[in-house]
Structure 1
Amino acid sequence: MIPIRCHAVAGVALSEIDGQIKMLLMYRVKGGFWCHVAGTVEAGETGWQTIIREFGEETGITVCELYTAHYLEQFYESGPNVVTVVPVFVVYCPPNQGVQLNDEHTAYRWCTLAEAKVLVSFPGQQALYDHVWRYFVESRPSTLMRVVLG
């Protein structure tokens, strides 16, 4: 038997950077790869509260417009022999959003879809970015996907 666990959430930030929509990628110290924001749900938190906290901690971004991406990252981890499922959120940021990294990352880039897909190491990341681009950049999501903050 392979257990399924869901203990973390992830988020993709979008911002108009110098007139062009881009997504935020950061270079992660642990593992040495490019990624989006992610983090573990702490006791008493909902998933959406976790991603807001993680955006603040990892990037300094204050989340004002949050959506559920209607997408689950999923992958097998051989060490603990589990399938991990991670709900994904999308954050719309103001134009030319600033970023202040914490010590979990050493660099960041605002990327077009093509640039992001070249930087990342995992096929699941590429599929996620395709999904986000299609449903959050090329079109606007349903208002039913918006997370009411508060």
Structure 2
Amino acid sequence: MIPIRSIAVSAVLLSEIEGELNILLMKRVKGGFWCHIVGKVEANETASQAVLREIGEETSIQVRQLFSADYIEQFYEASQNVIEMIPVFVGFCDKNQVVVLNGEHIDYKWCNLTEAKALAVFSNQKKLYDFVWEHFVINQPEVLLEIK
């Protein structure tokens, strides 16, 4: 048996940089790969509370709008023998958003879709970025997915 576990949330942040929407990617200290925001849900937190806390901790950003992406990241974590299920959120930030990294990351970049996919190591990251781009950049996000 392979247990299914859902203890984390993730967020793809978007900001208009020099007139075009971009995705925030950060280079993790642990592992050295580029990624979006991911963090564990703490006791008595909802998923949306956890993702807002993680965004603040990792970037010092307060998003203008937060949406459920209507997307679940899923992958097999071999070291734990679990299938991870991670609900994804999309946050719209101020134009030319400033990022203040905490100790979890050593660098960041605001990327267009092509750049983000080139930096992404994992195939599911690339699929996620394509999904977010289609449903939140090319098309207007579904209002029912907005988290107030």
- Tell me the TM-score normalised to structure 2 length: 0.99
SS at match of 1:131: helix
Shift of 1:60: 0.6
Match runs of 1:41-120 below 5 Å: 41-120=41-120
Aligned twin of 1:15: 15
Aligned to 1:3: 3
The letter for the 2-side match of 1:30 is K
Paired position in structure 1 for 2:136: 136
Query: How large is the Cα RMSD of the aligned pairs?
Result: 0.5
Aligned length, in residue pairs: 148
How far residue 142 of structure 1 moved from its aligned partner, in angstroms, is: 1.1
**Any stretches of 5+ residues in structure 1 without a counterpart?**
none
Distance 2:147 2:20 in 1: 25
- Deviation readout 1:116-140 (Å, 9 max, x if unpaired): 0000100000000000000000011
Identity, in percent, stands at: 55
Q: Partners of 1:86 and 1:71 in 2: how far apart?
A: 9
Matched residue of 2:147: which SS?
A: coil
Deviation at 1:44, TM superposition (A): 0.6
CA contact (8 A) 2:59 2:101 kept: yes
Q: Is the 8 A contact 2:63 2:94 kept in 1?
A: no
CA distance in 1, matches of 2:70, 2:84: 16
Q: Match of 1:38?
A: 38
Structure 2 runs not aligned, ≥5 long: none
